Every structure is written in C-alpha cells, then in structure tokens.
Structure 1
Amino acid sequence: MPATPQDTAPASRTPDGAWPRAIALIGPQGSGKSTLFDALLAAAGSPPPRRAEGRQRPMGTETRLGHCNFMNQPWALLDCPGSVEFVQEAAAALAIADLALVVCEPDPARAAALAPTFHALEAAGLPAMVFVNKTDSLGEGRIRDTIAALQAHSRRPLVLRQVPIRDGGTVTGYVDLVSTRAYRWRPGEASELIRIPDSILPREEEARAALAETLADHDDTLLEKVVEDTIPTPEDLYRPLHADVAAGRLDPVLIGAAERRHGVMRLWKALRHDTPAAEVTASRRGIAPEGEAIAQVFRTFHAGQGGKLSFARIWRGTLKDGATVNGARIGGITRYPAAEAARAGEAGPGEVVALGRLDPLPTGATLSPSGNVPTLPFPAPPAPVFAVAIATEDRKDDVRLSGALQRLAEEDPAVFVRHDAENGQILLAGQGEMHLGHAVARLAEAHGLRVTTAHPRIAFRETIRQAARHHARHRRQTGGHGQFADVTLEVSPRPRGEGFAFEDRIVGGAIPRKYIPAVGDAAEEASRKGPLGNPVVDIAVTLLDGAFHSVDSSDMAFATATRMAMQEALAKAEPVMLEPVDQVTVLVPQDSTAAAQRLLTGRRGQILGYAEKPDWPGWDEVQALVPEAELHDLIIELRSQTMGLGTYTRRFDHLAEARAR
C-alpha cells in the first residue's frame, strides 16, 4: 500500500483460471505474526515489504496487505494487528478472508489470549489453521500441552498435524502426521528429508491415531479403517482433512519458527492444499456464482492528494477502472505485489485491491454496478471503552477539525466522535489509550491538525433533600409602564428519575391564568443551573400564591420573579450533587475474576454478581454498578491485571448522590 504505484500490474489470475485466495494472519501481540507474514512472502519469492503509503504509523496498528504467487497460485496475505486495541482492523480483514491463520506462541500460559479470536472465527464460520510459532524457544515444554491449553478456549477440535523432533532439548524438525515423513530444519536452506527417529515413533503413532479418529467423525470410509484398526493411507487423511477445514469443523495445528524460516514452506503447502477457493467463500457468504460484479470495502484510507482509497475484495465478476459502482466512478485500481503498489486496469473475482476515489462509499459497503445487490454482512465496531476530550491548539483550525474527524472515523470505524453540547467538548472514543493516541497522531500526520487531549467532563446533576418555599417580588418603575410580579413558590424533591414537574395552586385569581405558563417555563429554565452549578433534576415546583398589577404585570415580569424565587428556594432545600452510575459488565478469564472484583470495588463499585459467560468456558462476566467518574482509565488497569485480556461494556443505570472516593 505505498504512495507511488508502478505503472501497471499484471492480472493475478493463473493460466489454469485460479483466482487469488486471501489469508488473514491474526494472533496476539508478540506472537511473531508480522515476522511470519514477511517469511511467507519471502518463501513465495517476494521481497520484504516496505512501509506502506509513506506513513509514520507504527507497525502492528494497521493491516498490511501483500500479494504473491506460491507454486503458480496467487495469494493475498493480510497481516492484522495483534493488539486488542485494534481489534476492528482484524475483524474487517477476517470478513473478506478465505481462511484465518492463527499465530501463537508455544507457552500454554498465554493460550487464554486466543479465546476472543477463536470465538470470533467460530461465530463467523471462517475456516482456520493454527501455527505455533517460536518452537525454537520451546525448551522442555510440550506442544501437546500448548494444544490442550488452546483447546480449552476453542469449540472446534484442534488437531496436531506435526510432531516435533528434538535434539538435546531443542526442536530441530518435525514428523508430518499425514504424509508420515520427517524433516530436519536447516538455517537458510530447505528442510532435509530424514528417516523418522526411533525415539519419536511411539509419539508419532499415537498422534496420528488421534488425528485419524477426529477426521473419521465426518468420513465413513476413514471410520471403517479406524474401527478395523487398519492403518490409513495419506490420501485417507488428506481427503477428510481438506473437507473439514473448508467446512470449519476443525483447525489443524502446525509448528515452526518464522524468524528462522523453520516450517514456513510446509505451512505454505498446507495453506495451498486446504484453503477454500474464493468462490467457496463467496458461496458461504450467500453470493450466487452468476450475476453482476460484487465487491466489499473492508478498509478505507485517505491518501492526501492521492484521494480516498477503498480496499475491497471482489467476490464476483470484474471491475474496471472508470466503471461506476453504487453511483460512484472508480478512479483507479491498485494491486500490491509483495506489498508494493502497482496500477491495474481491472480486477476480477478473489482479488484484494484498492479502488480509488469512491468518496461517498463507507467501510463495509457492498459494491455493484447497479448498487442494488443485497448488502453483505460486515462486523460492527466494538463499543468504546476509553475516551478523551480534544481541542485544537489553534482556534482557527476548528473549522477544519470537523471534516478531519469525519475522515478519521471513516478510516477507523472503531473511533467514535461525539459532540457533548452540555459540557462544550468534542469527545473521541475508542479501544484504549494507544488506539486514541494513534488517532490523534493521524490528525497531525494526515491533516496537519494538532490537538490537545483532556479527561471528558462528567455530566453531574443536583437535586434537593427537602422542600423549601420562597416569596419573591419583582418591581421596577422606568417611566411609562413598569414591571411588577409577585410569586410564592415551593420546591420539593421527587423520586429519582421522575424529572421536573410544575403545579399551579393559585385560587381566587391571585395571578391571572395568562401568566401561569410563563411561571412554569421560567421555573423549568431556572432548574437548568442549580446552586452547585449543575442542572437540577427530580424536583416539583408548586406555585402557591402571588399578586399582579393590572398595568405593569407581564410574562417577562413573572418570569423574572420566578427565577428569583427559584434561586433562593433551591439554596434552602439542601441541594446535593448527583453523579451518573453505570452498569458495567467485565469479561475476564476466571483466574482474574477476583482481581477484577477488587478493581471494581476499589473504584466505588457495587458488585452485583458474577457467572461464567455462556459458550466461553474458563471466562467470567462480573456485573457491577460503578460511578462514571471512576471509569475513565478502568480499561487500562483492567488490562494490566489480566495480561491484556480483560474488557468491559457499560450502560447508564441511574443517578446517585456523589460520594468521595
């Protein structure tokens, strides 16, 4: 995705008519995913990618795209961010991928970090493989322990494809359980085919039998051989393995060390064999093989003078430069061989390309020449868990800020912008401190806007504890008609959430009926700023008595007298500050539940209870009521106490008297 495309790029369809397949690399931060991305490109004969689009944004915060050919078949690789703060980037890439390659470390203690990933893949029905990276650091650990730990968080069976070969405690190669061949890794060279060591034979036979039993669940031919205790051939295993992966019934597990290029070629061959074709994925997404061209935008980028780029996967038909989709004209098509931009005149099914200048079309849009095809599903952004108030350093930039924020939110749907009219703040909300830090940096980098950040102000309210009444008289003589109004008001508390109420108890015509509405409106207006400086809620105002002058009384005079009476009555009625309290649902691994409860109670939270999250074995949901003032940096501390795994959702529950921490 660089700034300066080459002149042209050849179509990526192979001579046999195969169209590109798309693989999304996803996994926790630190798993070596980007290293594997580079290694896969290198193994396919593509040079390491440069930084895309001339941007300064750090690696690991956005999806990288690279095209390559492996064994004469075209591929699009998408390297997704590993940080939980950029989860929407990964979700968008998964929406257009044929298969997810889940990358993890061999440490069983970190297996819980994959739970959200496995659940997302299962919910989407997306086929997946698992690559256990960094096996050169396995030490005395066992791959089977890692898989067992991962299996605790996946409803799909995880089946081991390879058994590691060790030499002096170091993993030096593997036995492929399907082909029954053994390989020794060699630095900088192709792996060496070797005889299966005698020491590994019992473990190889055990693991192969387990693989066969799992595959036999959906293959009657293999089931017969398993029942008859007949040794299956490689073809007996390849056939159901391919079908089960494509159907999302199981996830095969391969091993390697991307930094040393160990296991990368074997991984490529597994991907080539088992990744569903683009048309299979299109069918899974409900797209018929016939009809007009269909594509879906999964990422948007505003490239300065280069205009808007809409990265899209084409699911059917061919799109040409200059064609019209959804009423907008395509202003350029760009491919990314080895992550280097190259212009193209057209793009066909399966391709992942950038379409230029589709300004009206948002991320997630389904594209077609007619604009009338059914909308394809696209992941909704996660609810924000962190927010800051922003303001321009130079007030003359305020006019430009609105448009820049609109483009920022279009590039990253997980960034939410809200104007808080009551507190006079522009709020930027997202998935964490780093996420919003990059959003602020993007404003400076792409739009030349430097902004300051601050904590959002809390929408405090106030109410009263007791009833109070006050008499006020407004009299003014200025020559000609003067001003006269006399009112006696009582203010009293109402139950929480009842709001404002006005009652007229005037009898005997003490105040003419025509002035009563002015008193009610002025009383409600006066409640918008109480003695403590905040809007007053849940009060009843009663007009008890008053007086008027036949010449000098008016709506304005009665409004003025009412405001005077309200100011004094509220001050005498024991005003009290109210703060918003949210119902918070915290999601954490069960071994962090107690820590989460302590964190919430330390922030003046009231624990309502906790229970295991449905379909999330090993994870708990903790329910609590927490003052909004305590939630600003909750996500930061929650993640620090849960190895980055904890998260939460919130919704307003009620107002309560503010208490000191």
Structure 2
Amino acid sequence: MPDSASRQAGGASPRAVALIGPQGSGKSTLFDALLATAGAAPARRPGDPRSRAAGTETRLGHCIFMDEPWALLDCPGSVEFGQETAAALAVADLVILVCEPSPARAAALAPAFRALEQSGLPAMIFINKADTLGDQHVRDTLAALQAHSRRPLVLRQVPIRDKGEVTGYVDLVSERAYRWRKGEPSELIRMPDSVAAREAEARAALTETLADHDDTLLEKVVEDAIPTPAELYKPLHADIAAGALDPVLIGAAERRNGVLRLWKALRHDAPRPEETAARRGIAPDGEPLAQVFRTVHAGHGGKLSYARIWRGSLKDGATVNGVRIGGVSRFPGGEALKVPEATMGEIVALGRLESIPSGATISPSGAAPALPFPAPPPPVYALAIATEDRKDDVRLSGALQRLVEEDPSLTVVHDAEAGQILLHGQGDIHLGHAVARLAEAHGLRVSTTRPRIPFKETIRQAARHHARHRRQTGGHGQFADVTLEVSPRPRGEGFAFEDRIVGGAIPRKFIPAVGEAAEEASRKGPLGNPVVDIAVTLHDGAFHSVDSSDMAFATATRMAMQEALAKAEPVMLEPVDQVTVLVPQDATAAAQRLLTGRRGQILGYAEKDGWPGWDEVQALVPEAELHDLIIELRSQTMGLGTYTRRFDHLAETRAR
C-alpha cells in the first residue's frame, strides 16, 4: 500500500478485519483470496524471511477495495496459539469467523463464539468450502452453529444447486441470484424456481429476526407486507454493528467463490475505526494514541511493535512513552515499506520501542489510560530446557525474555529445587515452535526433557537418635553431643524445632545452630527428597568448654537427623492438583475415563456457565500424571478440550 493510500481512498480511515477459525477451515485461503480479489498480493510469500512458521503467528495484509483502505489479520487456527488471536481481536473492527460446512465440526467454533461475546466485536460467519456441501443443507450447519452461539445467526444467502452441486447463491436482502465462476466474479442470473420456496422461507426468518430490534420492520411483519431491500439493509447494518446478530455467508475461498460478495458485505457493514474507538471508550479529541498488540524481534531489524492507531497520527522519530520511534512500516504484499507517518485507523509496525510491551497504550505524553487487552491463558504443558553448550547459558536468559515478549502465553520458571529452567505454554506444538525460535532467531540449540516432579517425603512414626561428633586435629578440636527426636506433624504444618534442654547440658548459645542444622538436614531425606511436616525436638546433649562450637553442633545434628529420619518410617509424598477439565458434553464421559486412568479422583461435573453444550469436570489428579494430559485430552475432543490446575495437597505416593 503506498504512503498516499488513505488520500487515494478519499480520506477514509483504514478498517481492520480479523479472520479467525479452527484449523482446516480454509481461513488462510480466504485471507489470500480476499487480498487477491482486492488486487493485492498475498501477505506471505514462499522464501520470504519474515514468513514465520505457518499457522503459528498472525499475518498482516494491507489492501484497497473499492477505493477504501483495509488491514486484514489472518489469525492462527490452532488453540495453542490462541493468544495471537486474542491480541488481534483487541484491535479489530470486525471479525470473520470461518468454518467448514459440516455440522459435526460446529463444536470447534465454541471457543471462538465465547471470545466474540466477551469482546463485543461485530462478526460475520463465512461457511467455507460450500462447494463440498453435497446433499447437506446449510440450515443444518446453521442450527449446529447456533447451538454454540448466544447471538442470533441469520443466513444472508441460500445456495443454488445443480445436480446436487452448489453452483451459486441467492442474496436474501436483494433477492438476486448469482452463479459462481471459478476465479472470477459471480454471474447475475434469474432466480431458479427450485430455490424460490427456500429463499422465501429464509428471507422471512431474516426479516423476523431483524424485526426484534426495529419497530418499522415489525409493522411490516405483522401486516404480512414484503419489506424492500433498503428496509432490511438498515436494521441489518445496525444489528451487526451492535453485535446483536451475526450474518452467515457461504462461499468457497479456494475457487474465490463468494469472496467478492463477502468484500461488499464488509464494505457495507464493518464499523469504521472511529466507531470502534468510541465503543472502546476512546475520546475523539486529544493527543495521538495507539495500542501495541504484537511484538516481534526481527533479528538485525531489531524489535518491531505492531500497533493500531486509535487517534491522531504517529511520525517516524516521534517520542511515545519516553521512547523514540525508530521507523514506521506497513507490509503490502508481505514486503516492509517504510513510511514517514501512520494515521488514525492504521495498523503498522513501529521500530525500536524497546521498553514497550504488547498491550501497552502509547502516546507522546505517556499518560494515556490503559486499554483492555487479553491476559494470557494459564499454561497446560511444560518442558525443562537446557543449552547443549554450557557457554550459552548466559545468552539463554536474554533469549527467553525476548520469546516471552513476543508471546505472553509462554512463561519461564527457574525451579531452584529441581535445578531446571521450565518453559510453560499451551501444548507440545506451541513449545516446539518456541524451541525452534530459539535456534532460528537466537542461534541457541537446547535440549528438552520432562520436568522433574517435586516429590517430598515425610515420616510415619517418631524416632530418637543420639550422635556425638569428636575430632582432634591439633590445637582446638571439635566436640558436640546431641540427642534428637523426630516426629510426624499433620499434613501442611511444615517444620518445627523445640528445645527441651535442662540443666545447661548444652549452652544456650549453641541451640540456634542445632535448630538451623536440623532444618537444613530436612532438605534431603533418606529417599532423596525434601522432608516436610516434621517436628524436631532436642532432648539432651553434652559439650566441651574449649572444643565445642556452632560448627561442631551443626555436624552432630546432621548426623543425628540422618539416622533418626531413616528409622522413622520415611514415605514418599507427591503433589496432587485440583484439575478442572472443560470439554463438549459428548466428550464428558471420555474425559472422566481419561482422568481416572491417570489415578484421578472425580469430584463431580456440571455444565459450564455461559457455555451451552459444554461441561466442567472436577478431579484431584497427581501432578506426575499431568505432563501430557493436554495432548491426550485434545486428541479425544477434536482439539477442543482444555484444563486448568492448582496445587491442592501432598499425598503418599500410590503405585499405578
């Protein structure tokens, strides 16, 4: 898009549309078809160094359709990269939800419908691959989709069939019929008699839905009068903008069938950025304001912060939030194009905003109020990572920090107890992509292993042991004598030390050293793990006026603790988490079997509030069984199932 694109488009502010949908729906094909129909090249080309792994990151495409500028955002289809999609929704004016024509696949869109409801964004549904419908009916797909959406879904088109194959459609508002032509605009035809009855039925349903929010149209319905196209367009536009309903269109993106009709619907019904800004509570007057929604570290190109301009304009070299902008870029055809300025509504990449994170609101004063931005989802999968060359350990820390900057749904935890660096994320594909990014962008090759489970141990009975430490090495020697008892405490009460010395058997000044050494000795028990929930009691001892010291008493205490713990019936403890699994109701029984097969204790299940057709299953599951739970759960639920977890308690390890 040339720098003068906005002026060429009559001064219209660019609108932004996000394409979302499950993997396999043909969403990216539709993205390319929309760009091609608008006369723009696809935003990703083979061999382009900026072409990151397919399906894992949002693609940005700029184009002009009918003299108006647009930005298209092709969001990842995998649930493992949902944070990318959520961030794009934060800056979009409208969403196109792409789906397949099969009713059996409708459940895959439930998370997307929830995201739309939470964001309040206007949306259109595009049933792709309509040329593969065969004997199936669009109304069956619509009914299946409606079961997962709180918003009314209304057909805008009904298909025309010829010998069982969908060859075109009738627009329900204009009542015009079109025949599809592969790669070319559709041909206007007379409405076939075979579709007239179905068209009248579907148009009546559309009219009744629109009449729910329009009194004038309601009068038409009551009087059995046929509304004109203009009388339908007006309430339809208002209802879409208000998020009161979602229109449903059909097409076949691979053949570019229905794409031009979709473009015209977007042009008519997508809100302008001024309207979206008002809905988000952004006043039209004031200093320039933008929101960063995506961060990319582009190697030698430095850090790029993708942002939507909500007010005013931002120039190259301007200062925002105390940082100087080091370049403004658009990406027509996937090629970076430096421009001197970005204006209201544009989505651009701003260079060198080193201290600005994704989600930040930026302005020249740095005092702009924060705008809503999605929090990352809780992690469901983790790997322990280590550099293959220890010389790279220092570099690894900085590289991981940049990874988390790019993708906030990644988290890094330094587990000091296990001696591991843990990378948490949304699944094995998600973390595999992160590891590949470490090698590709940072030249760091790492090995990955399963995280160590933080086992603990405790004791079942009390035990007493006497230990004496004596050493003579010339000069002052070392002497200390202690009698300790270890005893179990209730689960969760931790470590306690009690001094019962009487008569000065051990001087008071040495007692703290005994307590500290006892606690230190509990950090590694007879079974090799930290010992928890024990009480240590110092009953007796002896000292030497010259050779006793804190060090000597600490040594004697460790000797006594080692023997006492070994005699006290040590037992392994494992962490048990409370797990909440979210699945479609037809997968609830499978989820319960999956949990019990992993030593889980089912606590109950109930319908998820606000998620019709979905259940939450509550269970207690040992942490050792949770590493790959998300992989198996998704494999049994068409990739839809997910879960959250929190530590609940420690329990004695049970053999499988």
The bucket for the TM-score relative to the shorter chain is: over 0.9
**1:559 paired residue number:** 554
**2:342 paired residue number:** 347
**2:14 paired residue number:** 20
Does residue 547 (structure 1) correspond to residue 542 (structure 2)? The answer is yes
1:614 Cα deviation after fit: 0.2
Does residue 296 (structure 1) correspond to residue 291 (structure 2)? The answer is yes
Q: TM-score, with normalisation over the residues of structure 2?
A: 0.98
Does residue 269 (structure 1) correspond to residue 264 (structure 2)? The answer is yes
3-state secondary structure, aligned to 1:369: coil
| Aligned partners of 1:469 and 1:489 also within 8 Å | yes
C-alpha distance after superposition, 1:407-428 (max 9, x if no partner): 1111111111111111111111
Does residue 595 (structure 1) correspond to residue 590 (structure 2)? The answer is yes
Paired with 2:496 and 2:361, the residues of 1 have a C-alpha distance of 49
C-alpha distance after superposition, 1:349-373 (max 9, x if no partner): 1000000111111111111000001
Paired with 1:107 and 1:349, the residues of 2 have a C-alpha distance of 40
**2:477 paired residue number:** 482
3-state secondary structure, aligned to 1:338: helix
1:55 Cα deviation after fit: 4.0
Paired with 1:181 and 1:582, the residues of 2 have a C-alpha distance of 59
Does residue 652 (structure 1) correspond to residue 647 (structure 2)? The answer is yes
Paired with 1:251 and 1:50, the residues of 2 have a C-alpha distance of 29
**2:441 paired residue number:** 446
C-alpha distance after superposition, 1:481-537 (max 9, x if no partner): 222211111100001100000111112222122211111111101101100111100
Q: Choose which of 21, 24, 43 in structure 2 pairs with 1:30.
A: 24
Q: Percent identity?
A: 82
- List aligned pairs for 1:180-579, cutoff 5 A: 180-579=175-574
Paired with 1:159 and 1:184, the residues of 2 have a C-alpha distance of 22
| Aligned partners of 1:332 and 1:343 also within 8 Å | yes
1:629 Cα deviation after fit: 0.7
Paired with 1:165 and 1:489, the residues of 2 have a C-alpha distance of 88
Q: Choose which of 162, 178, 194 in structure 1 pairs with 2:157.
A: 162
Does residue 62 (structure 1) correspond to residue 57 (structure 2)? The answer is yes
- List aligned pairs for 1:114-129, cutoff 5 A: 114-129=109-124
1:156 Cα deviation after fit: 0.3
Does residue 39 (structure 1) correspond to residue 13 (structure 2)? The answer is no
Paired with 1:58 and 1:522, the residues of 2 have a C-alpha distance of 53
Does residue 131 (structure 1) correspond to residue 126 (structure 2)? The answer is yes
Q: Which moved more, 1:482-491 or 1:523-532?
A: 482-491
Paired with 2:42 and 2:349, the residues of 1 have a C-alpha distance of 20
| Aligned partners of 2:102 and 2:141 also within 8 Å | yes
C-alpha distance after superposition, 1:265-296 (max 9, x if no partner): 00000000000000110111110000001101
- List aligned pairs for 1:599-610, cutoff 5 A: 599-610=594-605
Paired with 2:33 and 2:176, the residues of 1 have a C-alpha distance of 23
**1:111 paired residue number:** 106
Residue 468 of structure 2 aligns with an amino acid whose one-letter code is: R
Paired with 2:308 and 2:6, the residues of 1 have a C-alpha distance of 13
1:17 Cα deviation after fit: 2.3
Paired with 2:266 and 2:629, the residues of 1 have a C-alpha distance of 41
Count of residues in Structure 1 that have an aligned counterpart in Structure 2: 655
Q: Which moved more, 1:549-558 or 1:601-610?
A: 549-558
Q: Which moved more, 1:119-128 or 1:482-491?
A: 482-491
Q: TM-score, with normalisation over the residues of structure 1?
A: 0.98
Paired with 2:626 and 2:117, the residues of 1 have a C-alpha distance of 31
Q: Which moved more, 1:576-585 or 1:44-53?
A: 44-53
1:53 Cα deviation after fit: 5.7
Paired with 1:257 and 1:32, the residues of 2 have a C-alpha distance of 9
| Aligned partners of 1:13 and 1:74 also within 8 Å | no
1:547 Cα deviation after fit: 1.4
Change (3 A) 1:189 1:479: closer
| Aligned partners of 2:9 and 2:69 also within 8 Å | no
Residue 31 of structure 1 aligns with an amino acid whose one-letter code is: S
Residue 9 of structure 1 aligns with an amino acid whose one-letter code is: D
3-state secondary structure, aligned to 2:212: helix
Does residue 9 (structure 1) correspond to residue 26 (structure 2)? The answer is no
1:56 Cα deviation after fit: 5.8
